[in-house]
Amino acid sequence: MTDIDPTKPVLVTGGTGYIASWIVRYLLEDGYTVRATVRDPQKPSGLEHLHALAKAHPGRLTLHAADLLAEGSYTEAMAGCELVIHTASPFLVGRIKDAQRQLIRPALEGTRNVLASVDATPSVKRVVLTSSVVAIHGDNADMKGKSAFTEADWNTTSTEQHQPYAYSKTVAEKEAWAIQAKQERWDLVTIHPGLVLGPSLTTSSKSGSIATMRFFTDMSFAAGAPALELSVVDVRDVARAHITAGFTPEAHGRYITTAETTSMLEIGRTLSGAFGRRLSFPRNELPKFMIKLAAPVAGMTRKFVELNVGWPLAFDNSRTRKELGLEFRPAEETIVEHFQQMIDDGLA
């Protein structure tokens, strides 16, 4: 049982992020005081949405400079906070040239730096960490012998060479649990979203949704889509999961935060139903051997195709629904709203 004083400020790391921006907004709308860390509070662009939130909620949002790789940079902003929501984490879209430098080191060192500040801040009682379903499984083929993944599962198949982003999220979360276990003052709760879609509060943040939804605009799927299943969740539900986990005294452990499993073809059909037929929306699934042949050109490895295309995927989110009381938006609604914003922003 961890009771958080609602009058104390809440620290949100990575405040400009896709998920973090919604967390900041909801916290403010709920009446909390928020401190958000960003790399440079004086940055001339990219912070407009946070400035607008600060203006709409006078005196309750402040921005603080911090960097994942700068030791101690979170300590000042954390002073007096009982709840820390740590969302800041490296996410790269496209080809990875140096996984250790680009993903693994910043994920690990960033986790260590933030939690070192937590250890040094007597007021902190709880940390809510943004993890991912990729810390629960590495490839869809890991489903073999299971009906669904649960919070008890861990990704044991990703490496620095294969699925490096998933590996970075896994080792960072394991490090967080190891650090938490060494003390008894603060507890840890981890949130595990699938592919996060839905409207963004800023065009400046980068997320996996951008790369995924771009496939439906750049003709990548004009001839057909891979038979690839993925879990989808609305960004607003993910934000609410973080906040609820923070302020629910009994919350503990890991929480799978996915709405439902869909496929690339089903996403295409949803978009066709809402926006009409486009050449960029897939009408069929391509045979696996064709996907494997084209994999290197598309930025995928053949190993990824072998272990993910054609495999089913399922997650059990019942613990999240029961303990956090979260009801997820339908994936179809989320997908349509996401694509409509892409249209409005001139991206589709």
Residue 322 known to be catalytic: no
End-to-end CA distance of the chain: 47
Query: How many helices (H) and strands (E) would you count in the chain?
Result: 13, 10
8 A C-beta contact, residue 33 and residue 9: yes
For residue 3, tell me if it sits in a domain.
Answer: no
CA distance 323 to 321: 6
Q: Where are the alpha helices (DSSP H) in the chain?
A: 18-29, 48-56, 75-78, 99, 105-119, 164-180, 208-214, 235-247, 264-275, 288-294, 302-308, 318-324, 331-344
Q: Which of 144, 169, 182, 288 is catalytic?
A: 169
| Structure tokens belonging to residue 294 | 């084209």
Which range of residues forms the domain containing residue 27?
A: 10-342
For residue 1, tell me if it sits in a domain.
Answer: no
* CATH number reported for the structural domain that contains residue 226 in this entry: 3.40.50.720
Q: What is the largest CA-CA distance in the chain?
A: 58
Tell me which DSSP letter residue 329 carries. Answer: P
For residue 261, tell me if it sits in a domain.
Answer: yes
CA distance 57 to 331: 31
CA distance 88 to 98: 20
Handedness of CA 146, 150, 151, 156 (dihedral sign): positive
For residue 5, tell me if it sits in a domain.
Answer: no
Q: Which residues of the chain have pLDDT under 50?
A: none
8 A C-beta contact, residue 214 and residue 296: no
For residue 347, tell me if it sits in a domain.
Answer: no
| Structure tokens belonging to residue 212 | 């995924």
* Residue-level pLDDT at 44: 84
CB atoms within 10 A of CB 64: 17
Q: Give Cβ neighbours of residue 237 (< 8 Å, ≥ 6 apart).
A: 257, 259, 326, 328, 329
CA distance 188 to 254: 9
For residue 330, tell me if it sits in a domain.
Answer: yes
For residue 46, tell me if it sits in a domain.
Answer: yes
Closest CA to 280 of 338, 209, 348, 197: 348
Number of domains present in the structure of the chain: 1
For residue 169, tell me if it sits in a domain.
Answer: yes
CA distance 174 to 182: 13
